[in-house]
Amino acid sequence: MPQFQDKMHIKKATYIISSPNYEKCPAPDKPEYAFIGRSNVGKSSLINLLCDNEKLAKTSGSPGKTQLINHFDVVSGETAASGKKEDNQLWYLVDLPGYGFAKVSISARRRWEQMIENYLRKRENLTQVFVLIDARHSPQKIDLEFLEQLKTWEVPFSLVFTKSDKESQRIVSKNVKSFLEAMRKTWMFLPAHFVTSAAKKTGKEKLLNYIGELNKQLKEEK
């Protein structure tokens, strides 16, 4: 996991397009970070928090609202530990449909699953997938199974525990620890993880700094 020394913030985030499949997505010419989780995990709220724009991603009380691959064009800036400002970073933020419960037909759900699988396996500029986990609950089978699928597909990912303000710190810590322990049964190495709250704006800085460090690593590798 990269060491956080510089501070990154999003200067501008603009909605571009909603695509029915990965082939209709924008040209793969920038690093891409996708966000996914169970329906109603607080994905839109987290994206709006990161981008400092409450109206960017549409939030809804009804699960399954996101049905397409939603792309946002992002311009971010960094202030180095020395105080020096770094060059802008250009990247895509992607809001993916949730997995799990949604009031849709079986055929529609299968279509979603195929769309998500194709995107995750074939999108060539996909840098990292952030898998959102509801911090209010003990480990859920559906989340652990989805991570196993990512392992099979060799998709790089990190964990983001959401809604940490909805329970006491003790319960959240217990649930996060339990989830990581459940992963250890089948994983040799655990991914980076973040604990967030859109309501209290916690975890935002660490998550953005992490993306900033990954962008810099990609630039150095070119």
pLDDT score recorded for residue 50: 94
pLDDT in tens, 169-217: 999 999 999 999 999 999 999 999 999 999 999 999 999 999 999 998 9
Domain 7-221 bears CATH identifier 3.40.50.300: yes
* pLDDT score, position 63: 47
Q: DSSP 3-state helix, strand, coil percentages of the chain (rounded to 5)?
A: 35, 25, 35
Q: What is the pLDDT of residues 11-29, one digit of tens each?
A: 999 999 999 999 999 999 9
pLDDT per residue as tens digits for the range 119-130: 999 999 999 999
pLDDT at residue 80, rounded to an integer:
64
Q: Say if strands 193-195 and 157-162 run parallel, antiparallel, or are unpaired.
A: parallel
Q: Where are the domains of the chain?
A: 7-221
In the predicted model, is pLDDT for residue 39 greater than 70?
Answer: yes
Residues 6+ apart with CB under 8 A from 220: none
pLDDT in tens, 61-119: 444 456 789 999 999 987 766 666 677 899 999 999 888 755 667 777 778 788 999 99
pTM above 0.85, yes or no: yes
Residue 34 pLDDT exceeds 60:
yes
Residue 5: the pLDDT is: 54
Residue 94 sits at φ, ψ, to 5 deg, of -125, 130
pLDDT band at 60 (very low <50, low <70, confident <90, very high): very low
User: Contact at 8 Å (CB) between 63 and 98?
Assistant: yes
